[in-house]
């Protein structure tokens, strides 16, 4: 099965959290929201759909960021699906970070 890699620009909507796994390995995570931007018929930019991903970071790069920071995350995307206790089908998109950087705005022309 192939791997799906992406570069996502978005806002951290939760504070990064860390936990220790496998004895001494630290993994950090935070929720990231990204909103599609598109031009309407009048040629003006408008917001489209927003998606939420859980960023999973084994490199502790998230330690440099806080909620509401705008970041760019590069990494492997994975979709987890499960059935909740109430019988509802659920899914969560995860982005396993290879690199996390502060977003630097480049004006659109």
Assigned token pair, 24:
């001494």
pLDDT tens digit sequence for 75-86: 999 999 999 999
Q: How far apart are CA 97 and CA 76, in angstroms?
A: 7
Contact 31, 103 (CB under 8 A): no
Give 106's pLDDT tier (boundaries 50, 70, 90): low
Overall pTM surpassing 0.75 (yes/no): yes
CA-based angle 58:15:94, to the nearest 5?
50
Residue ranges covered by each domain of the chain: 10-66+80-100
CATH superfamily for domain 10-66+80-100: Nucleic acid-binding proteins (2.40.50.140)
Distances (CA, A) of 77 to 46, 55, 74: 26, 9, 9
């Amino acid at each position: 099965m192939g791997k799906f890699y992406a570069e996502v620009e978005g806002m951290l909507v939760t504070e990064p959290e860390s936990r220790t796994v496998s004895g001494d390995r630290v993994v950090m995570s935070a929720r990231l929201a990204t909103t599609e931007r598109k031009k309407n018929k009048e040629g003006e930019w408008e917001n489209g759909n927003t998606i939420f991903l859980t960023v999973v970071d084994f490199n502790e790069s998230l330690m440099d960021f806080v909620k509401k920071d705008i970041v760019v995350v590069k990494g492997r995307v994975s979709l987890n699906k499960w059935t909740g206790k109430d019988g509802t089908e659920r899914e969560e998109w995860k982005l396993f970070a290879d690199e996390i950087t502060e977003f630097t705005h480049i004006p659109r022309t």
